[in-house]
C-alpha cells in the first residue's frame, strides 16, 4: 500500500492588507517590503476567525474536493504555533468538535514553519501502520495575533490562513515517497516566543510588552534558512536518485523571496522550479506549503505523476521536506 495526498483545500481571511495600507501604521513602504521580502499583501483574520475556525474551513474544502464526507475521517493532525488556547486543548481537538464527527484521534504539531512537512510524514505513518485509513493534515496560523505591529522588522512579514490535505491510500507509484525531518535546537532563541511558557512565565507588571510577541533575529534566520533549503533539497534528491531535471516543482515555505533566490543560486536549481506565492499571502508559517499546493491545484498546475519536493524551515529551529509523486 502507498499513502499520499488525495486532495488539498484552503481558507484565507477576506481582509487583505496591502503594503501601502500597512505603511500608514508602520514605518515602512511598499518598495522596501517588496525589495527585501517579495511580499505585497497579507490576509488578516478577524476576532471570529480563530485558528481552529480557519483550520475547519480548510478541512471542509479539502474534504469536498476529495469527494469525501467528514464521517470518512479517522484522524486529524493540525500543525500550528498559534493555537486557540496557549497549551491545551489542541486545535485539532477543536476541529474535531467543529466538524461534529465521532471521537476520532487528533493532535497538534508545534514545529513552526516545518509543521506541515512533519504532519504529512506522521499522516503517512498512521495510514501505513493501519491506525487510520483517511487522515486530515492541516497547517493553520493566526500570526497576526502574535505579531508586534510596532516592530517593522517583523510586522511586514506575516499573514493568516489555513491549508489542508486529505491523505489516504493512493495508486502505486504515486504518493508520499520520502521525508527528511530535522531539528537544530541550539538555534531556539533565533526565532521564538520569549514569554508565556513555564521557563519564562508572564509576570504582570514586570514582563515587557514586546516579550509577549514573536521575536526573530532576522540575519540568523536568513542564514539558517538558505543553508537548510539547499541541504534538504540535496538530501531528498540524493536519497531518491533524482536530479534537478527530474523535479517538476519545489514548494518551499513562503518566508521571503530573497531566501528562495539565494537557495536557488547555491543549489544551481532554476528559480522557475520553485512555486512562490508570498507576494499575496506573506509568511503564514505552517499554512504556507498547503496554501501553495492548493493554489497550484486550483490553477491546474499539479498533474498526476509530477515529482514535487516540499521544504520547510522555521522556529525550533526545525527544517525538513517531503518527496511527493502527485
Query: What are 261-285's pLDDT values in tens digits?
Result: 999 999 999 999 999 999 999 999 9
- What percentage of the chain reaches a pLDDT higher than 90? 90
Check residues 159 and 24 and name the one with the higher pLDDT.
Answer: 159
Residue 89 has pLDDT above 90, yes or no: yes
- What is d(CA 175, CA 319) in angstroms, rounded to the nearest whole number? 21
Say what the pTM is: 0.96
What are the boundaries of each domain within the chain?
Answer: 2-172, 177-325
Phi, psi of 50 (to 5 degrees): -75, 170
Residue 1 has pLDDT above 90, yes or no: no
Q: What is the pLDDT of residue 318?
A: 98
Residue 143 has pLDDT above 90, yes or no: yes
Q: What is the pLDDT of residue 240?
A: 98
DSSP 87-138: SSS-HHHHHHHHHT----EEEEE--GGGHHHHHHHHHHHHHHTTS-SSEEEE
Mean pLDDT of 16-44: 93
Candidates 19, 41, 283, 322; catalytic one: 283
Candidates 93, 113, 192, 229; catalytic one: 113
Q: Is 240 a catalytic residue?
A: no
- What is d(CA 183, CA 311) in angstroms, rounded to the nearest whole number? 13
Q: Is 113 a catalytic residue?
A: yes
Considering the four listed CATH numbers 3.30.70.260, 3.40.50.11540, 3.40.50.720, 3.40.47.10, the one that applies to the domain covering 2-172 is: 3.40.47.10
CATH class, 177-325 region = alpha beta
Mean pLDDT of 59-75: 97
Residue 19 has pLDDT above 90, yes or no: yes
Q: Is 283 a catalytic residue?
A: yes
CA 64, 117, 253, 143: dihedral to nearest 10 degrees? 70
Mean pLDDT of 231-247: 97
Rg (CA), the chain: 19
Candidates 41, 51, 229, 253; catalytic one: 253
pLDDT tens digits along 74-84: 999 999 999 99
Domains 2-172 and 177-325 share a fold: yes
Amino acid at each position: 500500500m502507498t499513502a499520499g495526498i488525495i486532495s488539498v483545500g484552503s481558507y484565507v481571511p477576506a481582509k487583505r492588507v496591502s503594503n501601502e495600507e500597512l505603511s500608514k501604521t508602520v514605518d515602512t513602504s511598499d518598495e522596501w517590503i517588496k525589495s527585501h521580502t517579495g511580499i505585497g499583501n497579507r490576509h488578516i483574520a478577524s476576532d471570529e476567525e480563530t485558528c481552529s475556525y480557519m483550520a475547519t474551513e480548510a478541512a471542509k474544502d479539502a474534504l469536498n474536493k476529495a469527494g469525501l464526507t467528514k464521517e470518512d475521517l479517522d484522524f486529524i493532525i493540525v500543525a500550528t504555533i498559534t493555537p486557540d488556547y496557549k497549551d491545551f486543548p489542541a486545535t485539532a481537538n477543536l476541529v474535531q468538535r467543529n466538524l461534529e464527527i465521532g471521537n476520532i484521534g487528533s493532535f497538534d504539531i508545534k514545529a513552526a514553519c516545518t509543521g506541515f512537512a512533519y504532519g504529512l510524514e506522521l499522516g503517512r505513518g498512521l495510514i501505513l501502520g493501519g491506525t487510520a485509513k483517511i487522515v486530515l493534515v492541516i497547517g493553520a496560523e493566526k500570526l497576526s495575533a502574535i505579531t508586534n505591529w510596532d516592530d517593522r522588522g517583523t510586522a511586514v512579514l506575516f499573514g493568516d490562513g489555513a491549508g489542508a490535505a486529505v491523505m489516504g491510500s493512493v495508486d502505486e507509484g504515486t504518493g508520499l515517497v520520502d521525508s527528511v525531518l530535522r531539528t537544530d535546537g541550539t538555534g531556539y532563541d533565533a526565532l521564538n516566543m520569549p514569554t508565556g511558557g513555564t521557563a519564562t512565565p508572564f509576570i504582570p507588571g514586570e514582563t515587557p510588552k514586546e516579550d509577549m510577541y514573536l521575536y526573530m533575529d532576522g540575519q540568523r534566520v536568513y542564514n539558517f534558512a538558505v543553508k537548510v533549503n539547499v541541504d534538504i533539497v540535496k538530501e531528498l534528491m540524493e536519497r531518491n536518485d533524482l536530479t534537478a531535471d527530474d523535479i517538476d516543482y519545489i514548494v518551499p515555505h513562503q518566508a521571503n523571496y530573497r531566501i528562495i533566490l539565494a537557495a536557488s543560486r547555491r543549489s544551481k536549481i532554476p528559480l522557475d522550479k520553485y512555486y512562490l506565492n508570498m507576494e499575496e499571502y506573506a509568511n503564514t508559517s505552517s499554512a504556507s506549503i498547503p496554501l501553495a499546493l492548493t493554489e497550484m491545484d486550483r490553477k491546474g498546475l499539479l498533474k498526476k505523476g509530477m515529482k514535487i519536493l516540499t521544504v520547510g524551515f522555521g522556529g525550533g529551529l526545525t527544517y525538513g521536506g517531503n518527496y511527493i509523486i502527485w
